[in-house]
């Protein structure tokens, strides 16, 4: 498979990159590690006239703690996140999620956290070669009028399979999007549109600059299910956060389920059910896990392999295991 022709631009400052984006807008695509973008281009799913590489922008590669927040530059590699003591200690769910992405030798070194949360949604009918797709009528995402994942659907139901997004949403992360004329801060939970064709609320002149995670003194964990422990995308995953009160009860909780539907799902009711509970209350964890399964089932789409019934049932298991792990880490302190 060959890449299509495009103009390759490699700005060496953020300012220059933003000017190029403002100039080329929809004709341009940003390249970070390229492990998602180049595969899609080779499969003929994307044909940008211009590719703007972030490879020279070392100013977007950092992990630091500042004023009660962990700040991560969008171009930081997954390998740097995995190696960071700060992330391992204060944002364990993110560490565990990055550790599980793709293959160590490729995705961990080339892949970036920005590219991870901005990777396109996927679908087993669509993310195929040109040749494979040419045997079928075009679906919504390819400009047609049919969806193979949900026959009755009038829109695309491709699935967000980002490990990083699920973990970061559980950690209550925000992101900074930069454009030539300024910046805006968005809660990651509001960044996913639930539109399978345009899954992110990122304008064509904007670039993801930084990810911000509040340091809450909380315990987090991430669990996922995939066919193989390496290389494969998750078919269901869960990120959780448990914040202790001074009395060592659960003061706040966040449960997020990923790889099940068009965007990661923050499950507010199931999360709230854990408030005031003890870290040893496995009955409450089991109930929250089952509630998470029931709340995510209506959003589940059958397009990443394995049956829908199995993936939904596994939501409960992933959430329970993640809660158990976060509680275990609280008990160790």
Ligand X SMILES: Cc1cc2nc3c(=O)[nH]c(=O)nc-3n(C[C@H](O)[C@H](O)[C@H](O)COP(=O)(O)OP(=O)(O)OC[C@H]3O[C@@H](n4cnc5c(N)ncnc54)[C@H](O)[C@@H]3O)c2cc1C
User: Which residues contribute to the site for ligand SF4 (CB under 6 A)?
Assistant: 123, 125-126, 139-141, 147-149, 156-158, 196, 303
Chain residue at closest Cβ approach to ligand X? 115
Q: Are the C-beta atoms of 203 and 195 separated by less than 8 Å?
A: no
In a 13 Å sphere around the CA of 261, the CA atoms on its Cβ side amount to: 19
For the CB of residue 301, give the shortest distance to ligand SF4 in the complex, in Å: 7
Among 111, 196, 244, 261, binds ligand X (CB under 6 A): 111
Taking the complex as a whole, how short is the minimal distance between the CB of residue 43 and ligand SF4, in angstroms? 12
- String of b and e for 183-219 (b: at least 16 CB within 10 Å)? eeeeebbebbeebbeebbebeebbbbbbbbbebbebb
| Among 165, 259, 253, residue whose Cα is nearest residue 216 | 253
Distance between CA atoms of 163 and 222, rounded to whole angstroms? 9
Q: Helices 282-296 and 308-331 meet at what angle, rounded to 10?
A: 150
Query: CB under 5 to 8 A by kind: which of ligand X, ligand SF4, none does 196 bind?
Result: ligand SF4
Report, in Å, the least distance between residue 145 CB and ligand X.
25
180 binds ligand X (CB under 6 A): no
Of the residues 33, 172, 196, 244, which one makes contact with ligand X according to CB under 6 A: 33
Nearest to 225 by CA among 325, 328, 112, 305: 305
Question: Does 39 contact ligand X by CB under 6 A?
Answer: yes
Tell whether residue 115 is a contact of ligand X (CB under 6 A).
yes
Instruction: Name the region of 28 (left: φ>0; alpha: ψ -120 to 50; beta: rest).
Output: beta
Report if residue 118 touches ligand X, rule: CB under 6 A.
yes
Q: Of the candidates 10, 14, 23, 34, which one interacts with ligand X according to CB under 6 A? A: 34
Interface positions with ligand X (CB under 6 A): 29-37, 39, 54, 74, 78, 101-102, 107, 110-112, 114-116, 118-120, 161-164, 207-208, 231, 233
């Amino acid at each position: 498979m060959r890449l299509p022709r495009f103009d390759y631009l490699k700005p060496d400052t953020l300012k220059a990159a933003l000017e190029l984006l403002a100039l080329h807008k929809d004709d341009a695509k940003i390249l970070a590690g390229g492990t998602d973008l180049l595969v899609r281009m080779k499969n003929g799913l994307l044909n940008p006239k211009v590719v703007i590489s972030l490879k020279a922008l070392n100013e977007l590669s950092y992990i630091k703690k500042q004023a009660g927040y962990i700040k991560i530059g969008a171009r930081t590699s997954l390998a740097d996140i995995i190696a960071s003591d700060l992330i391992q200690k204060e944002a364990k769910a993110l560490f565990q999620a990055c550790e599980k992405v793709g293959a160590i030798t490729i995705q961990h070194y080339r892949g970036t956290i920005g590219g991870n949360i901005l990777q396109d949604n996927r679908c087993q009918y669509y993310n195929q070669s040109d040749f494979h797709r040419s045997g079928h009528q075009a679906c919504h995402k390819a400009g047609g009028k049919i969806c193979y994942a949900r026959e009755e659907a009038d829109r695309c139901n491709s699935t967000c399979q980002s490990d990083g997004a699920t973990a970061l949403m559980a950690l209550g992360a925000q992101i900074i999007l930069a454009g030539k004329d300024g910046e805006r801060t968005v809660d990651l939970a509001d960044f996913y549109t639930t539109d399978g064709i345009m899954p992110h609320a990122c304008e064509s002149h904007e670039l993801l600059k930084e990810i911000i995670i509040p340091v809450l003194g909380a315990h987090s964990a991430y669990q996922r299910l995939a066919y193989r422990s390496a290389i494969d995308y998750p078919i269901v995953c869960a990120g959780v956060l448990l914040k202790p009160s001074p009395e060592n009860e659960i003061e706040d909780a966040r449960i997020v389920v990923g790889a099940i539907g068009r965007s990661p799902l923050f499950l507010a009711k199931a999360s709230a059910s854990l408030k005031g509970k003890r870290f040893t209350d496995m009955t409450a964890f089991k109930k929250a896990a089952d509630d998470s399964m029931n709340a995510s089932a209506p959003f589940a789409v059958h397009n990443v392999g394995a049956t829908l019934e199995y993936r939904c049932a596994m939501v409960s298991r992933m959430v329970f295991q993640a809660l158990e792990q976060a509680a275990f880490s609280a008990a160790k302190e």
